[in-house]
Amino acid sequence: MTLAVYGKGGIGKSTTSCNISTALAKRGKKVLQIGCDPKHDSTFTLTGFLIPTIIDTLQEKDFHYEDIWPEDVIYKGYAGVDCVEAGGPPAGAGCGGYVVGETVKLLKELNAFDEYDVILFDVLGDVVCGGFAAPLNYADYCLIVTDNGFDALFAANRIAASVREKARTHNLRLAGLIGNRTSKRDLIDKYIEAVPMPVLEILPLIEDIRVSRVKGKTLFEMAESDPSLEYVCDYYLNIADQILSQPEGVVPKDAQDRDLFSLLSDFYLNPTQPANQTKELDLMMV
């Protein structure tokens, strides 16, 4: 099974990905996480350091694939999760899709894909071009990380459009949304009324999720010394269990940009008053 995790930049994709990978490993699966971001920090909370990238390794070997061994590019992380960082092209030059393609090509040369139960691509930011959407070419499921805000849901809609496009050529499905560090879900619910899709989990505002990123540890590793965090791990285990059940998923029908803008902005500009508040206002008028 291959997963591709997307979402607005800074929404917490990498932290979420690392904890989902760990949860899958805790369920007995052999997992490979592939970071697809020039920052090459996707796997930081699994390994505790910035591992060398595949692009850097290929350049060192003058792109002689036969000179590269699995241990040159695959690093062991927490809970036995194997980690790869694709890296990226120079700023302002090249294509992220090319980097992903070279990464997949090398891993296939090393027969790496055949060794894992789950492969998870953690992909940078908003989908604005075919290059960024390249991991969807290899995925069975897409997972979108969002919060209850306008910008994150706008990005989610662009990702949904990418899933719909890629689903034309292979059996790709959107497994659902993951709300990350959000105290409410009312705007998420407003969005999925217009663009129906599952919600896998909503993680509340838990400061330890942010702290885990700074510490370079998954929540599972932090919970080993602080059992009070075990309840946070349960959120990720729930996501893992849903994925392992091989859900039907959806091919979403994304909203047009202008329609989505109107939908989400109207939510803020014309909020619906609760019924009891409306009744109180009527009594005051009387």
Residue 75 C-alpha from the chain's centroid: 20
The amino acid sitting at 286 is V
Asked if 238 and 201 count as a contact pair (C-beta separation under 8 A), the reply is: yes
Residues tagged active-site? 8, 13, 39, 126
Which residues are within 8 A (CB) of 52 and not within 5 positions of it... i.e. 6 or more apart? 72, 73, 85
Any idea what DSSP says for residue 11?
A: S
CA pair distance 77, 83, nearest whole angstrom: 6
| Strand ranges in 62-217 using DSSP code E only, listed in sequence order | 75-76, 82-85, 118-123, 141-146, 173-179, 199-202
